[in-house]
Amino acid sequence: MSKAYLVLDDGRIFEGKSWAAPGRTFGEAVFQTGMTGYQETLTDPSYHRQVVVMTSPHIGNTGVNSTDNESKKIWVAGFVVRNPSTLTSNWRSEKDLEAELIDQNIVGIQGIDTRALTRHLRDRGAMRVGIFSGEELSKEEMVVEVRKTSQMSGAYLSEDVSTKETYIIPAIGEKKFTVAALDLGIKGATPRALAQRGVEVHVMPYNSTLEQIMAISPDGVFLSNGPGDPSTMNDVVDLVRDILLEQIPIFGICFGHQILGRALGFETYKLQFGHRGINQPVIDKRTGKVEITAHNHGFAIKAPTEGTFNTVFGAGEVTHLGLNDGVVEGLQLLERGAFSVQYHPEAAAGPHDAAYLFDRFIELMLRYPRAKVAI
């Protein structure tokens, strides 16, 4: 195996060995703390333009299969592991991980000290990075190439990952509701979770209009996860405000949570290194219950965490907080059917502590049928 280099924009360089596809790639360096679920991570559109560092040292032992993909392709810009498995041993495995990365031309690197890299990103913050595998450049030239690339702040990426045409996931069993899911980078497990609850899900492009949404007479609107900077999403924020005025129940997760927060008048900000993994503790302020949850976000909402707040759509409150750093992890309107969480209740991959949130969305659509809503 030839040498490969991981180069950060602050000048630090890690030397490792070539793995997956050779070449060069650039993105934002982030670390992911999950010990399992690497296939779901790779195919999550929220990781578009990010170079993912796996903190678990041993990756690849279960191979890959066609069932666990969260989208039609691998979205990560690059993949960093300490010790990739040389053997695949799982009854569901259909292919070797490295072979899949090569087939999709994903540049990777192995053999670096991922613990040291993670500590560096935790202390200095997520930053631009490049992987150079089989490249004949000096260390100074590699740093210059990394610094030429754009940062995640200000990135408008929904158009890259969203569906171009609306498609429908039919309800399983009796159809009870119709939901318009705005695709900001949706994962496949999310509409499946709704379909299992009798919801017919219309997955719609990120730039859908209010008229297009209203044309399907939705009982609710779902705002999906996705990549990029929420401060750039003014058109979608305006759309969500129009939906709120139509008094249609709304459920948002991850990027959708940030969009709803902006629609309510709050600002967003970039976290130092973000939350990415399937072991993040969150407390429900209303019950005191602690949930272990799956996260993938680098931005968060600035909102008051004590008491209630006022918006043009009525009073609201922060419902969930991250126990590691106090980040706002959930909010709701008190007088209308709208709520959101920063994490991923579909558990792909991840724990199932938050699966009840889909049931809460169902309850919300029952409580606020559009024909009977009153302010």
Helix axes 234-245, 255-263, angle to 10 degrees: 70
Percentage of the chain lying above the pLDDT 70 cut: 98
Q: How far lies 221's CA from each of 183, 337, 338, 360, in Å?
A: 11, 10, 9, 13
Q: Is the pLDDT of residue 213 over 60?
A: yes
Contact 9, 129 (CB under 8 A): yes
pLDDT at 347: 83
Q: Mean pLDDT score of the chain, rounded to an integer? A: 95
Residue 135 banded pLDDT, cuts 50, 70, 90: confident
Residue 375 banded pLDDT, cuts 50, 70, 90: very low
The CA distance from 149 to 78, in Å, is: 14
**Tens of pLDDT, residues 25-63:** 999 999 999 989 999 999 999 999 999 999 999 999 999
pLDDT at 349: 84
**Tens of pLDDT, residues 143-192:** 999 999 999 999 999 999 999 999 999 999 999 999 999 999 999 999 99
Contact 218, 176 (CB under 8 A): no
Q: What is the mean pLDDT of residues 339-345?
A: 96
Residue 370 banded pLDDT, cuts 50, 70, 90: low
372 vs 216: which has the higher pLDDT: 216
Q: Is the pLDDT of residue 233 over 90?
A: yes
pLDDT at 372: 41
Q: What is the mean pLDDT of residues 224-247?
A: 97
Q: How far lies 88's CA from each of 32, 85, 106, 154, 230, in Å?
A: 21, 7, 19, 40, 39
Q: Is the pLDDT of residue 255 over 80?
A: yes
The set of catalytic residues is 254, 344, 346
Q: What is the mean pLDDT of residues 71-77?
A: 97
Q: What is the mean pLDDT of residues 233-247?
A: 97
pLDDT at 47: 97
Q: Is the pLDDT of residue 371 over 70?
A: no
Q: Is the pLDDT of residue 297 over 90?
A: yes
Q: What is the mean pLDDT of residues 237-257?
A: 97
Contact 219, 202 (CB under 8 A): no
Q: What is the mean pLDDT of residues 257-275?
A: 97
Q: What is the mean pLDDT of residues 204-214?
A: 98
**Tens of pLDDT, residues 92-101:** 999 999 999 9
The CA distance from 57 to 110, in Å, is: 10
β-strands 78-81, 107-110 pairing: parallel
pLDDT at 348: 83
The CA distance from 307 to 317, in Å, is: 7
